[in-house]
Structure 1
Amino acid sequence: MQSHQQIARWPTFRRTGTTLLTLACALSWAGAQTEIEPAPGSIGADIPGLYFGPAPSDSMKELVGPVQLLRSGTVDTDKATLTLPLYRGQTKAGKNVWYVLTDTNDAGNAVALGLNYSAKLGFAAVGKASRNATLQKDGTLTFDRGTVNFAPAWSITPGQSPNFFPPQAFKAGSVGDADYTPLVRLENVGGSVYNAPILAYDVSAEQLAQSCTATGGKVNHAQVHDKVLSICPEGKSGGTVTLQLTTGFSFSKPVLYLSLDASDELPAAMEQVTVAPGLKDLTVGGDDGAFSAVERLFAAVNGPTGKGNPQRQGFNSALGDAGVAGPLNVLGGIPTVATDYSPMWDLNVYAWTKAAIDAGYRSRMIEEFQVLGMAERGFITGPGGSKFGSSGFVVNCPIVFRFK
């Protein structure tokens, strides 16, 4: 739907005939947590942290304090990982589909299953943006279409310093066919829409069990999603899967979220996620308007760089600063903060202007209206001086945890 405009809204990138360099994916997640996790309240006080009462969010989750938002799994905040139930479904041809559930527009089932509630997903059942599934008597889902190839090896070659973005070359590690989208509509049981990203396709439970680190296995990313750290099928219906989380901010609150799919290969390679072409049918550029299925996510091209820099942020840093954990994107509304949450994010990419950089205004952005205010004043624009706004790309990033 947006394909004729998408790449034009990003800076020109080039492929080279030289050997493709693979960007190392060994991230120091403990160090990454110090970039976003709030300092303890005991700093500067006359009593140790043990004497402080519970966080206000323990009494009312809308108040300040940590809250696990996606409650269907176990979060390890030190390692920035999430362990979720793993589900097995099948195609009409009988091939195994291994997936997780993260969000739904069914409010009652969101509470019952510990999923994120997103009313906006009800407007995602358009075109190829959602697949249909039929609930079977045994409790499994049969999907009408959509496959994913996990065999490609993810790689990305940063651009030349200091402009590491856009990358010189890139390749997504998993690619869906033209019909693939993580969104699924249950057509025979009410029509609710679920976010059900595929993590492995057309492999047996026995094959998948070899990627279970709990039993001595080693994850085979030629068979599973690149964010999988361990996957352990058990029994007929599934088992568990542990996934790497991504760090970011939403309305000044440090957060952890899952990054699992993107509508096009460039954002998929940048996020190390699956290309999901069906997401191109979601309308972008009008979030929070009537019938919008998306919310906005803001990503900097040329934010401050330098590992250990407390202002570090953006694509140049993610590609050029070894050992950092991602670009530290800014998400719009999330549950407990706003009512407009959607795991389908309209990617708004921005660049700091030379005038803003020269004036010393460039800094880490941690909430939506900071970004919008800078755009209003002309201190940030779209990439390459283009108009600020939607890039045309959609990314699937369910929110998992907020720190304050």
Structure 2
Amino acid sequence: MNRKQWLWSAFNALEAVATTVAVAIALPLVAIAESGPGPGPLGPGLGCNFFPPSAAIGAAVDSSYFGPPPSSVNPSLVGPVQLLNTGEVNFQKGTITIPLYKGQLRTGETVWYILTDTDDAQNAKALGLNLSSKLAYSASGVRTGNFNSAGQIIFNEGKVDFTPERQVQPGFSNRPFPPIAAQPGSMGDAAYSPLVRIRNSGGHVYNAPMIAFNVDASQIHFPSGNPDYKLVHDEVVAIDTTRMTVTLNLVNGFSFGRPVWYISMDANDPTVAAIEGATFAPALRRIQVGNDDSFSSAVERIFIAVNGPSENACENPQRQGLFAALTDGFRPNNTFGGIPTLATDYSPLWDANLYEWTAEAISKGYRSQLREEFQILGLVETGFLTGPNGAKFGSTGNIINCPVVFRLL
């Protein structure tokens, strides 16, 4: 089932539900109209905050008695590991501050961007970027660029309009996803992709999401916060064009049972981009999906619950999914496949696999928060999870550009 068929199926199912439930239940929820990053990863309850507790809980010794975490000896072991090492993570605010770069389109407009990932192993180490060998297979969805004499990237094409206000109107109260209407806060033109291949520097691919476009430094200088979201990406918390840094909101997620923080920057579908607070990047549609981990695959899978536990919002330690996110406004707690230090198949281009708990699984009390890829696949195999509305489980055709920043355990 392709993306359009899936959307029609979802909306048809929504219409059928609306005609059979009570009017009081079928009233649409209040529309969300907002700009900016919204809630960070340190939410008000266990369902929206996965920061690890002290190992001293329940022990007979003070936390000061514990030695360094095993991850300090080997980053693949248990313990905190910063993966994107270009800037400082603020653990009180749940943000990261990283370098801001300035380039140009070949037509002269200014491009403000960040760097998060590359397929160049040596530069990944030297610059503190995430290494993603899979980006070498992303040619169909990249822009091209060249360095000028000042070391700036001159991008061949790709523009972004940051003026729209992000809006999401959830569906009916018993089924808030898919939303009735959605508008991303930033819209790329047909040529825009966050990926760029630099032709005169080895031909390597870099993940360079755009932060602002065709504006002067003075227009987007908000070092203390409260930026103008008609000029900058919705995930920006603060931006300093003197120090050339940008502070971005972090998002909660999981990979193989470990809590992680990441940034959500772009998506190839406008509805997904609106929900994520990301930029709509049409050129990412050219990248093949559904072939995770095979030869020539540029993507890795992300697993997104549709109807995970949502009762009591962030107070619910099992909270997860799009119903929850569209009801309480916090993030859906998605589950990644491989990330650096846990696997070798990492890509910041996440192929969205949506899953839905069946009525049987819910009635038996099996519905819970899922944190690990093969746990999810096992539940699909046994029939307790399906695709949306009972459809076959698999790729929805949507790609989300979510560079991973920090592994909390």
2:188 maps to 176
Cα distance between partner residues in 2 of 1:220 and 1:367: 38
Q: CA deviation at 1:190?
A: 0.7
2:123 maps to 109
1:230 maps to 238
1:73 maps to 87
Cα distance between partner residues in 2 of 1:368 and 1:28: 24
Q: CA deviation at 1:37?
A: 2.0
Q: CA deviation at 1:9?
A: 6.5
2:198 maps to 186
Which of these residues, 227, 230, 240, is aligned with residue 219 of structure 1? Answer: 227
Structure 1 outlier segments of 4+, above 2 Å: 2-14, 18-35
1:357 maps to 362
Query: Structure 1 residues 90 and 3, CA, compared in 2 at 3 Å: closer, same or farther?
Result: farther
Cα distance between partner residues in 2 of 1:28 and 1:139: 34
- CA deviations on 1:6-31 (whole Å, 9 max, x unpaired) are 634755578xxx99822567526433
- CA deviations on 1:197-246 (whole Å, 9 max, x unpaired) are 0010000111111x332xxx630000000000111112xxx700000011
Counterparts in 2 of 1:289-300, with a 5 A limit?
289-300=294-305
Q: Is the 8 A contact 2:306 2:323 kept in 1?
A: yes
Query: Structure 1 residues 286 and 115, CA, compared in 2 at 3 Å: closer, same or farther?
Result: same
Q: CA deviation at 1:114?
A: 0.1
* Secondary structure at 1:30 match in 2: coil
Q: CA deviation at 1:38?
A: 2.3
Counterparts in 2 of 1:351-390, with a 5 A limit?
351-390=356-395
Q: Is the 8 A contact 1:11 1:383 kept in 2?
A: no
Cα distance between partner residues in 2 of 1:382 and 1:9: 11
Query: Structure 1 residues 331 and 188, CA, compared in 2 at 3 Å: closer, same or farther?
Result: same
Q: Is the 8 A contact 2:40 2:249 kept in 1?
A: no
1:278 maps to 283
- CA deviations on 1:344-370 (whole Å, 9 max, x unpaired) are 000001100000000111000001011
Identity %: 49
* Secondary structure at 1:63 match in 2: coil
Cα distance between partner residues in 2 of 1:342 and 1:183: 12
Counterparts in 2 of 1:87-236, with a 5 A limit?
87-126=101-140, 129-209=141-221, 211-213=222-224, 218-234=226-242
Q: Is the 8 A contact 2:29 2:169 kept in 1?
A: no
Q: Is the 8 A contact 1:9 1:391 kept in 2?
A: no
Which of these residues, 250, 253, 258, is aligned with residue 253 of structure 1? Answer: 258
* Secondary structure at 1:393 match in 2: strand
* Secondary structure at 1:293 match in 2: coil
Confirm or deny that 1:56 pairs with 2:70.
Answer: yes
Cα distance between partner residues in 2 of 1:33 and 1:356: 25
Q: Is the 8 A contact 2:351 2:400 kept in 1?
A: yes
Q: CA deviation at 1:169?
A: 1.3
Q: Is the 8 A contact 2:41 2:250 kept in 1?
A: no
* Secondary structure at 1:269 match in 2: helix
C-alpha RMSD of the superposition: 1.9
Cα distance between partner residues in 2 of 1:37 and 1:46: 22
Q: TM-score scaled to structure 2, two decimals? A: 0.91
Q: Is the 8 A contact 1:29 1:78 kept in 2?
A: no
* Secondary structure at 1:138 match in 2: coil
- CA deviations on 1:76-100 (whole Å, 9 max, x unpaired) are 1232111010000001121100000
Q: Is the 8 A contact 1:6 1:392 kept in 2?
A: no
Cα distance between partner residues in 1 of 2:340 and 2:230: 34
Q: Is the 8 A contact 2:254 2:334 kept in 1?
A: yes
Q: CA deviation at 1:188?
A: 1.2
Cα distance between partner residues in 2 of 1:381 and 1:3: 16
Cα distance between partner residues in 2 of 1:38 and 1:157: 33
Q: TM-score scaled to structure 1, two decimals? A: 0.92
Cα distance between partner residues in 1 of 2:10 and 2:122: 40
Unpaired runs of 5+ in structure 1? none
Cα distance between partner residues in 2 of 1:350 and 1:388: 7
Cα distance between partner residues in 2 of 1:204 and 1:37: 38
More displaced stretch, 18-27 vs 272-281: 18-27
For 2:334, give the aligned amino acid: N
Q: CA deviation at 1:70?
A: 0.3
* Secondary structure at 1:247 match in 2: strand
Which of these residues, 285, 292, 317, is aligned with residue 310 of structure 1? Answer: 317
* Secondary structure at 2:302 match in 1: strand
For 1:167, give the aligned amino acid: P
Cα distance between partner residues in 1 of 2:226 and 2:4: 41
Q: Is the 8 A contact 1:294 1:343 kept in 2?
A: yes
Q: Is the 8 A contact 1:11 1:384 kept in 2?
A: no
Query: Structure 1 residues 177 and 20, CA, compared in 2 at 3 Å: closer, same or farther?
Result: farther
Unpaired runs of 5+ in structure 2? 16-27
Cα distance between partner residues in 1 of 2:369 and 2:178: 20
Q: Is the 8 A contact 2:41 2:261 kept in 1?
A: no
2:98 maps to 84
